[in-house]
Amino acid sequence: MNLRSKLSIAFAGVGAAAAILVGVFSYQAASQRINAELDRSLLTTSAEVAAGATQVLAPSPVTRGPDDDDHDEAQPMVAQAIAPDGTARPIGGRPVHLSVDDADRTLAGTGALGDHRYRDFTAGRDDYRVITVALGPGRGAIQLGVDVDESRHVLSELAARITGVSALVLVGAALAGWLLARQITRRLVRLTQAAEQVGDGRLAGVAVPVGGRDEVGRLATSFDRMLGRLADSRADQERLVQDAAHELRTPLTSLRTNASVLRRFAELTPDARVRLLDDVDGEARELTHLIDELVELATRRYEAEEPTPVELGDVAEHAADRVRRRSGRAITVEADASALTGQPKALERAVSNLLENAVKFAPEGPIEVVVRDGRVQVLDRGPGIGDEDAARVFDRFHRADGARGLPGSGLGLAIVREIALAHGGSVFAGPRPRGGAVVGFTVGADLLLPISHPGHVDG
């Protein structure tokens, strides 16, 4: 059973339950009201009969129809007097003898004036509501009965009408429930179809029914946004694989060539052998570095690090120490007390990549790291960055024309961008006044912690 059918049945069930409850309560209220009115009428009539007004028991004419003869029908009441000794005698109304029980005899013999009791009595096919009213001690009692068949007929008709109305309400509720369920589940059905298409591996051309501010609309909007990100991620992965295949082709071709030369290793001169082995070793290291960065970029291993409070100045100093040891270059760090809740190792990797990039493109001159208000920038005095390259320097595998012959995978700055985006920030690159380049990243302002102490200059 689908959701639409379940909702339709639920709506119909709720409507039917409401109609039945209203019908039952209405019938009970009407029955109680009729019975109470009947008892009140009996009490009033008994007082009139006790006062001698027996005309209330006289026959009343009833017209049957234009084709029938008018005839008199006895008043549907019967009255009798009960002596103090318990004997009863008719005093008017229908020729029906009402039974007298011990409670009636007690009222007739010792009951106070106005004491009364009600009970039901059946004579043949007729049912009566009977009242016995005491006339005072030693004066007997008046017993009056009224035929309740008409009242029961009215209640039966009321019950039939309530049943009919309940059936109509049930049908209406079922129809309204089906229409509402159809309206509610229409977008869910389309959303389910879209999800099934995505589950089958189709992303292109999947139509998601967005719109509306209810839960279904919000779900559709979130699913559409998720689908868009999934499509972008797949396209990004495809570009990464294609670019990686292109970049891997160069070192693999070189290694294949060197492997062919190694077949004639014995024929080479000692100097040629050294150059060949150095070339093989360099290409192997470059290939290893490229694979490591590809794996890190594709798997986003830095995102698995637990965020902790970290000072950007300490991160920059640790990265500078590492690059100083590797390159022997002079690197200064100028930082304030900017701190954030982030991933220390990932941030240190980002700063290290910026420094290694500066060391590679600026072989001479000082390298500076400046940290201010959540903004990390690395400055050098190299050849600088052109406007065209500045817009693409953080793309994967992008290399400027002047960097084609330099070592590197072209992924270092792409990793910087991913780490910055993971921390709610962005990246930037451009020329430095009086020559050189400025490359860096920012972190999200919502991640920054209050500054607790002034910055420092190190290096």
What confidence tier does 302 reach under pLDDT thresholds 50, 70, 90?
low
Give the other-Cβ count within 10 Å of 377's Cβ: 19
Q: Give pLDDT, residue 68.
A: 44
pLDDT at 206: 63
- pLDDT > 90: what percent of the chain? 18
Name the 3-class secondary structure at 116.
strand
**pLDDT tens digits, residue range 344-368?**
988 988 998 899 889 888 888 889 9
Strand partners, 134: 141
Which amino acid does the sequence have at 287? L
Rounded Cα gap, residues 95 and 58, in angstroms: 12
* Residue 364 backbone phi and psi in degrees, to 5: -130, 160
Paired strand residues for 127: 122
Segment 372-382, tens digit of pLDDT:
999 999 999 88
Of the ranges 107-111, 216-220, 265-269, which is most confident? 107-111
pLDDT of residue 55: 64
Q: What angle do CA 216, 218, 222 make, to 5 degrees?
A: 115
Type of residue numbered 50: A
Choose from 232-236, 255-259, 332-336, 401-405 the range with maximum mean pLDDT.
332-336
The per-residue pLDDT for 54 is: 63
pTM of the model: 0.45
Sequence-distant (≥ 6) Cβ neighbours of residue 398 within 8 angstroms: 389, 392, 410
pLDDT digits (tens, 9 = 90+) for 236-284: 677 667 666 655 666 677 778 878 888 887 888 888 888 888 878 877 8
**Structure letter (DSSP) for residue 99:** P
| Top-confidence residue, 397 or 430 | 430
Tell me if 34 sits within 8 A of 159, measured CB to CB. Answer: no
**Mean pLDDT rounded to a whole number for the chain:** 79
* Confidence band, pLDDT 50/70/90 cuts, at residue 71: very low
Residue 95 in this model has a pLDDT that exceeds 70: yes
- Sign of the C-alpha dihedral, residues 279, 283, 288, 293? positive
Token reading at 305: 């690090």
Q: What is the identity of the amino acid at 273? A: R
Residues 299, 74: Cα–Cα separation, whole Å: 101
Angle among Cα 209, 214, 217 to the nearest 5 degrees reads 15
Split at pLDDT 50, 70, 90, the class of 133 is very high
Give the DSSP H/E element, type plus range, for residue 71: strand 71-73
Count CB neighbours of 390 within 10 A.
18
What pLDDT, on a 0 to 100 scale, did the predictor assign at position 226? 76
Q: Are 343 and 378 in contact (CB under 8 A)?
A: no
Of the chain, the end-to-end C-alpha distance in Å amounts to 72
Mean pLDDT of 428-453: 86
Helices (H), 200-214: none
Per DSSP, 76 falls in state S
pLDDT of residue 183: 74
Q: Is residue 431 a contact partner of residue 437, using CB atoms and an 8 Å limit? A: yes
Contact 60, 73 (CB under 8 A): yes
Q: Which residue has the tokens 């190190």?
A: 458
Other beta carbons within 10 Å of 414:
22
Q: Which residue has the higher pLDDT, 95 or 231?
A: 95
CA distance 140 to 135: 6
> How many other β-carbons are positioned within 10 Å of the β-carbon of residue 26?
15
Return the higher-pLDDT residue of 217 and 375.
375
pLDDT at 65: 47
Residue pLDDT, tens place only, 26-39: 888 888 888 898 88
